[in-house]
Structure formats: C-alpha cells, structure tokens
Amino acid sequence: MTSRREAILEAIVREYVSTAEPVGSLTLVKKYSFPYSSATIRAEMAMLEESGYIMHPHTSAGRVPTEKGYRYFVDMVQKEESNSAKASLDKESNFAKASLDKGRISKREEDILERRIAAMHSHFERRFDMAAMALADMTRNVAISSMGQEIYSHGLANLFRQPEFYDNDRVLRVADMIDNLQGLLRELPRTKDFMVLIGNESPVGKSAGCSLIVSRVQLPQNTRGYLGVLGPTRMPYERVIPLVMRTRDLLESELI
C-alpha cells in the first residue's frame, strides 16, 4: 500500500470510530489537512475500496472501514507502538508502559486502575473480577475475565448503546457470542499471550460484528486466566489495547 493510501485509510478509520458516520472526501480534506484535492482523495478511496479496505454503504456517499481495513490499521498501530517501546524503554519495561508514556492512557486512567485493583484485598478471584469491571467502565464496552472454567462479563449495556446494535438481529448474535465465550477462549491459540480478533477472525460469533481484545493473565497456582474487552469492530483500538495490557500488568503485580 502506498503511504498516501495508508494515511487516508488511517484517517477514515479514526473518523468512523469517532462519529459512526460514513466518511467522505470533503471531511478528510477539512478535518485532516491532507495536501491533496478532494478529487485526488476520492480516487485513492476508490482504490482502497477496490482492494477491500473500505466499503461504500448504499445509503451514503461516504465510506466505512471493512474488517480488512481495521486489521491493517490495528497492525499498523501495534507496529508503531512496539517500535516506540523498543526505542524508548529498557528491556525490563513493558509495552503497556510505553503506551502510557505516549499518552494512550491518561494519568487519571492509570490512577483509577491502580486504586480499583489495589482496593480489593479479598481473594484473587474478586480482584480479577474488579479489573474487568474497571475495564468495562473505562472502555464503555463489555469486559470479560476468565479463571479456569469460570467466566464473568460486565458492561453488556455499554455494547448495546452503540449504534451498530440497534438492530435486533445483531443483538441476538452478540448475545449468542457472549453465551459462548468459554468456547471462544478454548479456541484461542495457546502460543499467543495477546490477541486482537476482528470480526470474522473470532472462532465463534463470526456474524456478530464484534472485535475481541484479549490477554492471557498469569494467575496463582498456574491457573489459566484471560482478561479482555469485547466491542464493535468500530472500536478505538489505540486506546483499548494499552488499557487491556496495562490492566493485565497491574493485576499480575497484585496477584503474584
């Protein structure tokens, strides 16, 4: 992909995540200060559509990202974050702290996470559940936590407030996906500690129009744990990814 198309795709994803409205060339020119004419941007958008990164809803002149477009964007964000972490942190630091330093997580959010997790002095299952509740509140999506055979979710109402889920059929598909979260977690690759599953990449609930950001968590007594956020594909990945990772780090520091 050319650097121009990459920049235009990035702007389309950011704008659509922010507004939930199809994005037109005039919006990109006015809001993102591209040094190209509207006609040039329309031509590049046509090429992005032909390549499958964006699509053209029949009810609008604007474009919206496809799952392929979101995947390209997420891979780009993770690569940028990883390169920044390697360049700015010593080997004992971690990816999530790099994201915090770059402003992905505000100091206020960091303080909230630390207080809410540290405040729970009871058994580690309760701390784990509290971490998921904090994630649900901060991301305005569904947060999940899993310990062995136990699985918990919080924030379902957050998800159903998103405009994507005003359709009853999609609500039912999401409900079915949440009912099968245990099966989804069992299907996750054992070789990966952190995953971003976009839409049809998910082992279950392929038609739900959701993305799952999930991290493996190291729990006492070698118990297998997961912590994650489930939301629409139109998710602010740049913010949710480091929030999940930082919450995992804080949780592990309290549990181990």
> What pLDDT score was predicted for residue 192?
84
CA distance 76 to 96: 16
Same domain, 28 and 152: no
What is the DSSP code (8-state) at residue 102? T
> What pLDDT score was predicted for residue 196?
93
Angle of CA points 122, 128, 132, to nearest 5°: 130
How do residues 96-148 score in pLDDT, each as one tens digit?
344 334 346 677 777 777 776 666 556 677 778 888 888 999 899 999 988 87
Sign of the Cα torsion 217, 75, 81, 105 reads negative
> What pLDDT score was predicted for residue 2?
92
**Distance in Å from the first CA to the final CA of the chain:** 44
Structural domains counted in the chain: 2
> What pLDDT score was predicted for residue 97?
43
Range of the domain at 117: 93-255
How do residues 210-228 score in pLDDT, each as one tens digit?
899 999 988 777 777 899 9
Same domain, 127 and 175: yes
> Is 11 among the domain residues?
yes
| Residue at a domain's end among 48, 65, 82 | 65
> What pLDDT score was predicted for residue 77?
84
What is the DSSP code (8-state) at residue 219? -
φ/ψ (deg, to 5) at 236: -75, 80
The segments of the chain whose pLDDT lies below 50 read 88-103
Which residue do the tokens 């002149």 mark? 61
> What pLDDT score was predicted for residue 48?
97
What is the DSSP code (8-state) at residue 226? E
Reading the block at residue 8, the tokens are 């235009």
**What CATH number does residue 248 fall under?**
3.30.450.40
Looking at the whole model, is its pTM more than 0.85?
Answer: no
